[in-house]
């Protein structure tokens, strides 16, 4: 059930980003938006680099190789989802509308669904995840 729910979260997250792109609301010529999105890409790449050559799973399957708690994972538990949401919300902010805000909310809700599913599955493989979760937040250090 959790893996199926995680797929739904992935579809929600991806669907929100794709819809923003299709509506022309993902990118902006604004230097501020470009800077935020560049930071989001840098966070994404840093997280992928730190995570290593582990494969991407569409469903929330824990990967072999141990729990990763270095790089951006030192500060937040889900830097890749954070980067995706940051990138998308920068576009929403540049093209503010009710529709775009709803798509941003869909994207964020999908990321949260995915995070919650992954956390429940990861703790089964890596019981030490509980301690790690106590000292790091999901997306925003010190907040959430």
Is residue 140 domain-resident?
no
Q: Is the dihedral of CA 60, 114, 91, 79 positive or negative?
A: negative
- In the chain, the number of structural domains is 1
pLDDT value of position 100: 98
Distance CA 45, CA 49 (A): 6
pTM of the model: 0.94
pLDDT value of position 65: 82
pLDDT tens, residue by residue, 10-26: 999 999 999 999 999 99
The pLDDT profile of the chain, 144 residues, written as one tens digit per residue, is 998 999 999 999 999 999 999 999 999 999 999 999 999 999 999 999 998 877 677 777 787 888 999 999 999 999 999 999 999 999 999 999 999 999 999 999 999 999 999 999 999 999 999 999 999 999 999 899
Can you tell me whether residue 13 is helix, strand or coil? helix
Is residue 143 domain-resident?
no
Closest by alpha carbon to 2, among 107, 84, 123?
A: 123
pLDDT value of position 54: 74
Is residue 144 domain-resident?
no
pLDDT value of position 70: 95
pLDDT value of position 28: 97
Residue-range definition of the domain harbouring residue 14:
2-135
Q: How far is CA 82 from CA 40, 44, 127, 129, in A?
A: 8, 8, 23, 19
Is residue 120 domain-resident?
yes
pLDDT value of position 68: 92
């Amino acid at each position: 059930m959790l893996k199926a729910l995680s797929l739904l979260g992935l579809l929600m997250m991806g669907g929100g980003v794709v819809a923003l792109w299709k509506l022309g609301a993902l990118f902006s010529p604004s230097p501020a938006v470009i800077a935020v999105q560049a930071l989001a890409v840098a966070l994404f790449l840093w997280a992928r680099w730190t995570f290593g050559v582990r494969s991407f799973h569409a469903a929330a399957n824990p990967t072999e190789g141990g729990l990763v708690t270095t790089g951006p994972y030192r500060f937040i538990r889900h830097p890749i989802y954070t980067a995706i949401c940051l990138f998308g919300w920068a576009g929403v902010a540049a093209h503010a509308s009710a529709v775009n805000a709803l798509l941003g909310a869909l994207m964020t809700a999908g990321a949260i669904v995915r995070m919650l599913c992954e956390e429940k599955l990861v703790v089964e493989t890596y019981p030490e995840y509980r301690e790690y979760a106590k000292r790091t937040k999901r997306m925003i250090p010190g907040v959430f």
